[in-house]
Amino acid sequence: MGFKKFAVDKEELIARLDAPVNFQMVAHLTGIIKNHNPGIDVLLQASFHKRKEVAFRAAWMLEYMMSNNPAVFSPYLTRFLELLPTQKNPSVMRHYSKIVALLTAGNAGPLYKALVKEIEFEAVVEVLFIWLVDTEMPVATKVHCMQALANLAPRYDWIKDDLMETIDYLTDVESIAFFARAKQVKKQLMKLKK
């Protein structure tokens, strides 16, 4: 991905993210990334903005950068994980939990696989369980939390039983969308050795 030589500062990025976006949000946000090179640190700060739309768009851009430009995102991985427990915006939590699920996935890129091996995830695991059982949490966030926890289960063997019990409980109270992913996650967990 080619970047122009200048980067936007926090105020300019927030102004761009606060501008009305119609049906072409993805094109608009990827255009900002490609043309203005917002730094990951600026996006992390913007993902905590008081205007929910700004924070959501910044979080979407973080997810995009994590997926499409690991070399740029990876130096900020520790900072991202430190900030994760402090995030309170449900729309942003969706992207944050998805980033963790992608980072810990079996098909994550080699750079992320190497970094993930070096990171202690206990604090993140605790937050993911809290978000998973939160009755106010959107189902998409819960699904990403469940997937990230399943991805971390081989590393932290206690996760398997706790997650299975939590899934069994939530399956009765959550939507069909949750149930479909829960079924996949349970299959993934069943393959783990005791």
The pTM is what?
A: 0.86
Higher pLDDT, 127 or 8: 127
Query: With 50 as the cut, is the pLDDT of residue 91 above it?
Result: yes
Whether the pLDDT of residue 17 is over 60: the answer is yes
When pLDDT is averaged across residues 30-44 and rounded to a whole number, the result is 75
The residue among 13, 6, 98 whose CA lies nearest residue 48 is 13
How far is the C-alpha of 190 from the C-alpha of 194, rounded, in Å? 9
pLDDT over 80 (residue 109): yes
pLDDT of 192 reads 87
> Smallest Cα–Cα separation from 101: which of 118, 120, 125?
125
For 190, half-sphere exposure in the C-beta direction (CA atoms, 13 angstrom radius) is 7
Contacts of residue 87, defined as CB under 8 A and 6 or more positions apart, other chains included, come to 47, 48, 93, 96
For 41-50, what is each residue's pLDDT tens digit? 889 999 999 9
The residue ranking higher by pLDDT, 90 or 38, is: 90
